[in-house]
Structure 1
């Protein structure tokens, strides 16, 4: 394993529980792969612009007809895609905000979903163009939602990432984090144990 891509999304930065669990996962993965290069994409401190008509228009424009502004949008999107394409493993932190994924993560997704680049439509339906690799998804929630209809994150992430070709998804849930100190401590300990098992 030569390249590890870490994507953090917590609005609380390093104090966020998903960020702390990500650091645990990264430490263990890096220890097992000491020569690996780590790329950290912090979507909270360095947000990806939300998709607009102008930005989407850049994705649709022919290469020889793009304005300088459109080319800048394409270059930025290409950079995000290249980070993902060259990663041997991805660690993704996903806190739950108002029953969904962080808006910054959705903006990131909107810039890596490019027809003809990361997916294509065929006569048999859509085909992901990214080679599969392990994606470790650390999902932190104030309540308990996994396995219920209120967990909108898990099916969405499976659908979106699978659409691009990423099928090897490994979920770690830390839930009940706002349900008292005892619940929080048990959830974080359980998640840490699952991370250690996954990374071993």
Structure 2
């Protein structure tokens, strides 16, 4: 019997609809929904958790959060547990997931602020990375390195040429910033697909969308095969 997997589906777009059903909808919501629907069709027994940080963003990290997070659990005061409650839920959700699928638009060359708030809540000392000054020059280490998690980043960009080797690739701080943050906590297997040319529209956008959807389908099939062979 195939063991059920946990899939975490995250949408980060500020646009609430999908571009295949709403003329002003999100391309990344369209791509992430396509991935999840295709996955569910192949593995209907898997659990799917949904998190919409685009519409319900996590609270931003503040001084109280930092104070609480860097206080050893045994020494925390009651208010500290409250300050970290949302972060704890997000970390627990991430830890439980085998596959994380993110609809991640580019906003001003990087990730949306609401998704950065999620990153800041799940990159947590003592939960997803360790810290010990006695280790010397490198006191940090990832805590999720052996968890076998896989991440799929499904992007959308107004211009074109942001992929590696493209004419404006040097301005793309979106996927690489996520790779850096997740790699820091031990999640290094990351796959990508993106639609470009949103600001151009017309056939240029349509062609890019077709390529992105083909890439999404290929990623689903590739990950399904690898999980079946595991």
TM-score (norm 1): 0.93
Q: 35, 54, 68: which is aligned to 1:44?
A: 54
Alignment map for 1:56-67 (pairs within 5 Å): 56-67=66-77
Contact kept in structure 1, 2:100 and 2:152, CA below 8 Å: yes
Instruction: Pick the structure with greater CA Rg.
Output: 2
Alignment map for 1:129-144 (pairs within 5 Å): 129-130=143-144, 131-144=147-160
Corresponding residue for 2:206?
185
Q: Deviations over 1:38-94 (max 9, x none)?
A: 110100221101111112112122334434332112222111111111111110111
How many Å apart are 1:179 and its aligned residue?
1.3
Q: 10, 14, 30: which is aligned to 1:7?
A: 10
Structure 1 residue 149 corresponds to structure 2 residue 170? yes
Provide closer, same or farther for how the CA distance between residues 93 and 123 of structure 1 changes in structure 2, counting only shifts above 3 A.
farther
Between the aligned partners of 1:44 and 1:65, the Cα distance in structure 2 is 34
Moved more, 3-12 or 53-62: 53-62
Contact kept in structure 2, 1:96 and 1:141, CA below 8 Å: yes
Corresponding residue for 1:108?
118
Unpaired stretches in structure 2, ≥5 consecutive residues: 18-24, 222-230
How many Å apart are 1:182 and its aligned residue?
1.1
Moved more, 58-67 or 25-34: 58-67
Q: Deviations over 1:160-179 (max 9, x none)?
A: 11111111100101111211
How many residues were matched structurally?
A: 200
How many Å apart are 1:124 and its aligned residue?
7.4
Corresponding residue for 2:95?
85
Q: Deviations over 1:88-142 (max 9, x none)?
A: 1110111011111000111111111111210124557332211231211001101
Provide closer, same or farther for how the CA distance between residues 124 and 86 of structure 1 changes in structure 2, counting only shifts above 3 A.
farther
Between the aligned partners of 2:84 and 2:198, the Cα distance in structure 1 is 39
Between the aligned partners of 1:47 and 1:158, the Cα distance in structure 2 is 20
Moved more, 86-95 or 66-75: 66-75
Q: 125, 128, 135: which is aligned to 2:142?
A: 128
Between the aligned partners of 1:5 and 1:115, the Cα distance in structure 2 is 22
Paired residue secondary structure (2:170):
coil
Contact kept in structure 2, 1:132 and 1:165, CA below 8 Å: no
